[in-house]
Amino acid sequence: MSNIVKIVGQRIRNYRTAQGLSQEKLAELSGCHPTYIGQIERGEKNATIESVEKISSALNISLSALFEKLDGKEAARSIPLECYELISEKTSDEQEQLYRILLEIDKYKNI
């Protein structure tokens, strides 16, 4: 599958795990089959727009957030996006720890 399919699938997985949802629960909330959710998350299936809309609605995220910066038109490297992708893959506790570390670093940047 294309890189976009894999990235969107990974983003869906990141949002799902950050909310503490299982694939089965997301499937129930979105009206999609659990196997289909897994295939989308692994980048094995190219989801329909309708399915993606149902999944994003079930996750309470906008379609624009899910598809943000996928067009490849950025001329420069997007460090904030790379940080977002890295952090969103972590558990809530790990995200909180990383955030605290960043705050501490930011405090001492001008010393």
* Domain layout of the chain by residue ranges: 1-72, 74-111
Q: What is the pTM of this model?
A: 0.67
User: For 45-87, how does the pLDDT look when each residue is reduced to its tens digit (9 = 90+)?
Assistant: 999 999 999 999 999 998 888 888 776 555 456 677 778 878 8
Segment 85-92 mean pLDDT: 82
List the CATH code of the domain at 1-72.
Answer: 1.10.260.40
Percent of the chain with pLDDT over 70: 90
Number of residues in the chain: 111
Which spans in the chain are helix H? 3-18, 23-30, 34-41, 49-58, 63-67, 79-88, 92-107
Average pLDDT over residues 12-29: 93
